């Protein structure tokens, strides 16, 4: 099935009135009722404006069913258009979706991933943790002498929320994500319709198409995981530093931290478990991180989720 036929089928499936609009365009293209000097399979807006809307005309151009001609717009492929307008006896035609090229990782992405794995070792081995935390302490140590620990955590959460948002916006291609998402939605919709019709042949064909589309899931994962590598590369050292400050797994705290009063628990230490084994400082960090991340996204007007077409 050609691209043009898929696009026509998609348009007709979305809006039944597009079939009538296409019939008008096909009828007027290159006939005596249109421009006398028009080439075969060409049509101008003036020829059809009394029978179709400007929105329908625009959709045909947008989907490249009509393309630039010598004196007007030409049919991209008359036979494909006519084939796409045929009543579908099944739901195996598919939509107007072309799998985008998968984003490749640069050497810097791979080095960041390798370094991130190395940082995870710090959670198990104190020498690695001490080196990483000691380095981070050069930046945050002076701040610990000026403001309380809860303010320092807020600063860390603001920083992580800012670079997380910027990294996701810069490294994740939302257009590609939208294509992946739209294709999967189209398959699910056709699968639902085939099930309602009890069309087993269509169900089998859609199942095969769904298996072929598994590559889309891998593509979506790669798009999402690339910025996550950089986010973890920057966040894990900060987390190791906070573990190091409060005392990791019963080890001695590096700073004399104040107690604090929280609702329903009263006066607690920073290492007190408030949500099961989850300690106070972790809960406070995640609350601040979620709040600051939302604030950064709204302030910079950054969309963090793909939009369907």
- Residue 306 tokens read as 């793909």
pLDDT at 38: 47
- Residue 186 tokens read as 């189209």
pLDDT by residue for the chain (309 residues), tens only, comes to 567 777 787 778 777 788 888 888 888 886 544 444 445 678 888 888 888 888 888 888 888 888 888 778 888 888 888 877 776 545 555 555 555 556 677 888 889 889 888 888 877 777 888 888 889 999 898 999 899 999 999 999 999 999 999 988 888 777 777 777 777 777 788 788 878 777 777 787 778 777 776 766 676 777 778 888 999 999 999 988 998 888 876 677 788 888 888 877 778 888 888 877 788 889 899 999 999 999 988 888 877 666 555
Q: Which residues have a Cβ under 8 Å from the Cβ of 176 and sit 6 or more positions away?
A: 100, 103, 219, 223
- CB burial readout 29-64, b (16+ within 10 A) else e: bbeeebbeebeebbbbeebbeeebeeebbebbeebe
pLDDT at 34: 44
User: Residue 243 and residue 154: Cα distance in Å, rounded?
Assistant: 15
Mapped onto helix, strand or coil, the DSSP state of residue 64 is coil
Strand partners, 68: 73
Closest CA to 229 of 121, 132, 110: 110
0.75 surpassed by pTM? no
Mapped onto helix, strand or coil, the DSSP state of residue 91 is coil
- Cβ distance 165 to 297 under 8 Å? yes
Where does 29-146 have alpha helices with state H?
45-48, 54-62, 78-85, 107-120, 126-144
User: Residue 167 and residue 232: Cα distance in Å, rounded?
Assistant: 11
Q: In what order do the strands lie in the sheet with 42-43?
A: 42-43, 73-75, 66-68
pLDDT at 288: 92
């Amino acid at each position: 099935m050609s691209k043009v036929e898929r696009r026509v089928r998609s348009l007709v499936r979305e809006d039944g009135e597009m079939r009538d609009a296409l019939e008008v365009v096909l009828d007027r293209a290159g006939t005596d009722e249109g421009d006398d000097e028009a080439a075969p399979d060409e049509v101008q807006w003036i020829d059809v404006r009394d029978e179709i809307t400007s929105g329908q005309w625009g959709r045909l151009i947008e989907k490249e069913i009509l393309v630039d001609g010598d004196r007007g717009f030409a049919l991209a492929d008359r036979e494909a258009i006519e084939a796409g307008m045929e009543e579908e006896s099944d739901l195996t035609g598919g939509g107007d979706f072309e799998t985008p090229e998968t984003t490749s990782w640069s050497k810097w992405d791979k080095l960041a991933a390798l370094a991130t794995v190395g940082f995870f070792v710090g959670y198990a081995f104190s020498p690695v943790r001490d080196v990483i935390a000691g380095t981070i302490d050069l930046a945050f140590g002076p701040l610990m002498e000026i403001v309380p620990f809860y303010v320092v955590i807020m600063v860390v959460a603001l920083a992580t929320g800012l670079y997380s948002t910027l990294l996701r916006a810069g490294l994740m291609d939302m257009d590609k994500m939208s294509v992946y998402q739209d294709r999967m939605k189209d398959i699910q919709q056709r699968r639902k319709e085939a099930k309602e019709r009890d069309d087993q042949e269509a169900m089998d064909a859609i199942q095969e198409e769904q298996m072929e589309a598994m590559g889309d899931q891998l593509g979506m994962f790669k798009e999402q995981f690339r910025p996550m590598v950089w986010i973890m590369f920057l966040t894990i050292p900060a987390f190791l530093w906070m573990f190091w400050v409060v005392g990791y797994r019963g080890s001695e705290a590096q700073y004399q931290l104040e107690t604090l009063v929280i609702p329903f628990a009263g006066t607690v230490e920073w290492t007190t478990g408030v949500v099961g084994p989850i300690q106070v400082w972790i809960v406070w960090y995640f609350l601040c991180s979620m709040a600051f991340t939302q604030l950064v996204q709204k302030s910079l007007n950054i969309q963090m989720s793909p939009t369907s077409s």
